[in-house]
Structure 1
Amino acid sequence: MKITFMGAARTVSGSCYILECGNTRFAVDCGLHQGNKEIEKRNWNLENYDGKNLDFILITHAHIDHTGLLPALVSKGFKNPIYCTAPTRDLLEIMLLDSAHIQEMEAEWTNRKRLRTGGQPVRPLYAIPDAEKTIPLFATVKYSETFEPAPGIKVTYMNAGHILGSAFIEIEYEQDGKKTKAVFSGDLGRPEQLIVEDPSDVDCADYLFLESTYGNRNHKDEEGSLEELGEAIAYSYKHGEKVVIPAFAVERSQQIIYSLFLLRKQGKLPDDMPVYLDSPLAIRATEIFRKHPEFFDNETQELIKNGENPLDLPNLKFTESREQSQAINETRGPAVVISASGMANAGRIKHHLRHNLWRSGASVVFVGWQGVGTPGRKIVGGAKKIRIFGEEVAINAKVFTINGFSGHAGQDELMNWLGTMQGKPMKVILVHGEAEVQKEFGALITEKFGFEVHIPEYMEEIELEPGREFQPVVDMAVARPRVDWSFLLADSEKLYEELRERVKGVEDRPWVDQAELRDKLLDINRHIVELVSEM
């Protein structure tokens, strides 16, 4: 069994792992690379995927960083089954069409600029017809039921507790009478998370491919997160202004609605404070959630049985049209506005931030991970102003960062999940995380469990030998030139750009604090000097 890491290697997007078992070639996930320009160039290297020669694809869950390249592969000739759960299929029907629309719009916007300067037009990564051709390929599976998508390959989907219908995937392959079991965690959720059930325990594995998004830290608990959201509401209600919440359309928006339901029961969401869900995609996703109550956790199902739907509020308003969205900012008075995107780098949320960031009585509440270089990252990082639609906007609003709403397991939760394993895995391969986080997390895993840990590179290949033997990176002479130096350098430049911005706010700190930060920077520079001397 050979595996190639097509994404989510020392980064958190582009999840895709291509496996070759005998004559069968298939993929686990097929995600869009998201981030800076260098990393997004990987989306165009479709020849590396060789989609027309994939026998099937296994999808862990609906998020675009795990599924957003599916239509691109279909456009290049892939036409075989795509396995996923029923909620994932329903969510992908709307999400892939939305993603295709974004691809078309971005290409159109780029072409306007290029044509004005005499440049050649570009084509979109994929278009709406490609997404439409993808939808009939979905084949639904159920949790805990083993199936055989190809001879000798057995697959079982287990509940990952991340979003509705999410799964971790167990793959068993027999070769020469020896069985190899690989488990792909997908994105692992948190115990006691709103709406979805807790992650199932993992039985055993020869190789465990484990996400590591938050491998170096833990989250606030639900009670503390609710309390902080209540503080934001109270602050802006008192000042007659809005609470603006950038939120991902799928799962996070529904979690926020559920949280507002709980706050209203506690008397912390005033009846005269309207709640706007201002994202057509989030609205359609919420309707799909309502369609699959059998995937809700017991607490949510009990509420519904008693006539209380936590995904509905008497003061909740869906704003589908552009005119309805614009009217929100023309209306004065307190309100809660939930809108996408979650990192504030696209969508209607940019308009809401432009209208509210400068208001000292407003609140902006970030409830998810903010990528390096995104507007959201800059705001939570303490920027004093930010450019939106070419306009400098002062940041006077009160900014809240609540990480307790994360759908990703924190460090302790990941370690507890690892601790449920019945047998010791031969190898833990860390994916879907930033490199520094993975190093810290990997050391902790080895220290506590004694598991051998590997952190793969982009496009690295590993041979998974039958049974419990491990073959390190194969074709090293070929793999070495694949090191993406342009991406690494661009990422370093991005970090230094962020560092320069933050230094401006450090000069007013006490001398002791400044000296400590100075010493850390000098230490980094020393490492760079050592690196340069080795090259």
Structure 2
Amino acid sequence: MKIKFLGAAMSVTGSCHLVTTDHSKFLLDCGLFQGSEALEELNYQAFDFDPAEIDFILLSHAHVDHCGRIPLLVKQGFTGKIYCTGATAEIADIMLQDSGNIHEMDAKWINKRTSRSGQRQVQPLYTEEDAARCSQYFFPVAYGQCFEINSRIKIRLNEAGHILGAAIIEMWIEDSGKTTKLVYSGDIGAVNQRMLNDPTLIAAADYLIMETTYGDRAHETQQESGKRFLEIIFKTVARGGTVVVPAFALGRTQDLIHELELFYDHHEFHQNQLDKVNVYVDSPLATDATAIFRKNAHYFNDAIKERIKNGEELFYFRNLNFTKSIDQSKALNENASPKVIISSSGMADAGRVRHHLKHYLWKPKSSIIFVGYQAEGTTGRAIISGEKYVRILRERIHVSAEIYFLEGFSAHADKNDLLKWLSGFKEKPKKIFLVHGEEEAKKTFANTVKRILGFDCTVVEDVSEYSLDDDALTVDGIKERIDLKNQINKLKDNLGDIHDELDNLLAIPGVAMSEAFPDEKVEDLEALTRDLKKTCEELKIMIKN
């Protein structure tokens, strides 16, 4: 048996692992790469296998970095079943169609921009129609049920505590005359969440593939982040500002609605302030996902089930508004009154939130709150890293708003919860493969596991294949090419920033006179020049190596 780590190997996104036995080929997830331009280009490269030869897919959950390339797989010949929970099947359907629509709109926008210069027209990765065709292949499996896929493979899906319907997958695979147990963690959630049960502890595995998104740091609790969330809202509204929350349509948006719902219901003391604050969920996808959450109450923890039993309505409170149309979305930025806007995408690289950030990011009275993981190379990552300027919709925007990152709302377990979950194994697995994390997070977590549990971990750093029979790992060397492309793109961005800054200076009346030359602009240019020099030096070293 062989396991090939095709995605979430060099980064957090693009989860896709190919398992090959003497009788079957199947995938663990098939997600989109998200982040830097170089990383996202991998979405357009040919699969490392023939999609028609894949027997089935085991899908851990419905986030697009885990399911987003399934339409491409179907488009190229895959006809097998996609095993997942019922909630994942239902949510993935709308997620994939939304993704297809985004790919169509992006291609249309690029072609409109480049057609006048005679450049080659681009095609969308897949369309909304391509995505809709995938629903026929989903096969729901209940949590805790031992399900026989065929005479030689059986599986069990367990609660992961990540998002609604997310699963930790146990597999018993008969290969070459022996049965091997493989466990795929998918994405593991934090413990003690307000709506979902804790991740299921797994007692045993021969081989484990485990995520490490936050393998190098601890979070504050969801309750602590919730308290800060309300404090930021009140502080921002008091100064006449607007709060913009880039949030994933699936999971984070519903958590934020629930947090506000609890506060609105139980804090009469703040009623006068609350009545003046409208909350807008500006994401058609989030609206549809919230409706699915409401009708899948059996996936929630006992506390939420009790509320529903008592007749309480989920995800509703006074002043909550869902916007659907583009005109309604535009009207939010024309309305000067203080408010809260929750909008996707969560990493601020797509969707309506880009327009809201473009409108509010440069305003000192505003607050921008990030509540989920920000992949390297995304706009969200640049903002929380303290960049003074970011490029949104091809325009360079100054960051003047107050910036917050409330990690307690993250759907991912921190290093302590990851360690707690791993300690649930009664015996040490033969191999533990760490994926779905940045290099530092994976290495730090591997050292922590070794020190505390005494388990050796294999840090997956590149597209690579592990042979269980030979105990050998073969590396493809994709990472070097991605790193080089990232550095070249960084150089391009540095040059673009200098170009924009010079344009701005030349637009200032009297700029030719030294006494009128702004000191702040001189400092900005010096910083940009230093960045350019540093990037060139790093690129030179990479090319030599």
TM-score when scaled to structure 1? 0.89
Q: Give how far 1:236 is off.
A: 1.6
CA–CA distance in 2 between the matches of 1:78 and 1:391?
40
CA–CA distance in 2 between the matches of 1:297 and 1:496?
49
Q: Residue 46 of structure 1 aligns to a residue in which SS?
A: coil
1:222 corresponding residue in structure 2: 222
Paired-residue identity, %: 40
2:373 corresponding residue in structure 1: 369
Deviations 1:164-208 (A, max 9, x none): 000010111123442211100000001112321111111211111
1:167 matched to 2:184? The reply is no
Instruction: Give the aligned CA root-mean-square deviation in angstroms.
Output: 2.7
CA–CA distance in 1 between the matches of 2:59 and 2:451?
32
2:138 corresponding residue in structure 1: 138
1:515 corresponding residue in structure 2: none
Q: Give how far 1:320 is off.
A: 0.4
1:489 matched to 2:489? The reply is no
Amino acid at match of 1:84: C
Q: Give how far 1:229 is off.
A: 0.5
1:273 corresponding residue in structure 2: 277
Asked whether the 8 Å contact 1:190–1:408 carries over to 2, the reply is yes
Structure 2 unaligned runs (5+)? 498-518, 524-529
Amino acid at match of 1:315: N
Deviations 1:424-479 (A, max 9, x none): 211110010011211111111122222221122433111124xxxx7121xx4xx4
Amino acid at match of 1:488: D
1:513 corresponding residue in structure 2: none
2:157 corresponding residue in structure 1: 157
Asked whether the 8 Å contact 1:372–1:495 carries over to 2, the reply is no
2:511 corresponding residue in structure 1: none
Amino acid at match of 2:300: F
1:511 corresponding residue in structure 2: none
Q: In terms of mean alpha carbon deviation, does 127-136 or 382-391 score higher?
A: 382-391
Amino acid at match of 1:462: Y
Superposed, 1:112-151 pairs within 5 Å as: 112-151=112-151
CA–CA distance in 1 between the matches of 2:494 and 2:218?
24
CA–CA distance in 1 between the matches of 2:444 and 2:488?
23
Superposed, 1:223-238 pairs within 5 Å as: 223-238=223-238
Deviations 1:361-412 (A, max 9, x none): 2211111122223222222222333333344433322221111100100000
Q: Give how far 1:417 is off.
A: 0.5
Asked whether the 8 Å contact 1:358–1:397 carries over to 2, the reply is yes
How many residue pairs get aligned? The number is: 508
Q: Residue 99 of structure 2 aligns to a residue in which SS?
A: helix
Q: 2:441 aligns with which of 434, 437, 443?
A: 437
Amino acid at match of 1:373: G
Asked whether the 8 Å contact 1:383–1:395 carries over to 2, the reply is yes
CA–CA distance in 1 between the matches of 2:22 and 2:354?
49
Q: Give how far 1:338 is off.
A: 0.4
Q: Residue 48 of structure 1 aligns to a residue in which SS?
A: coil
Asked whether the 8 Å contact 1:56–1:149 carries over to 2, the reply is no
Asked whether the 8 Å contact 1:235–1:363 carries over to 2, the reply is no
Q: 2:390 aligns with which of 386, 393, 409?
A: 386
Q: In terms of mean alpha carbon deviation, does 403-412 or 33-42 score higher?
A: 33-42
Asked whether the 8 Å contact 1:6–1:18 carries over to 2, the reply is yes
CA–CA distance in 1 between the matches of 2:338 and 2:258?
20
Q: Give how far 1:359 is off.
A: 2.5
2:10 corresponding residue in structure 1: 10
Q: Residue 102 of structure 2 aligns to a residue in which SS?
A: helix
CA–CA distance in 2 between the matches of 1:373 and 1:89?
30
Q: Give how far 1:261 is off.
A: 1.4
CA–CA distance in 1 between the matches of 2:296 and 2:257?
17
CA–CA distance in 2 between the matches of 1:423 and 1:409?
22
- Taking a change above 3 Å as real, the CA distance of residues 355 and 120 of structure 1, as seen in their structure-2 partners, is closer
1:309 matched to 2:313? The reply is yes
Q: Give how far 1:300 is off.
A: 1.3
CA–CA distance in 2 between the matches of 1:47 and 1:358?
41
- Taking a change above 3 Å as real, the CA distance of residues 380 and 483 of structure 1, as seen in their structure-2 partners, is closer
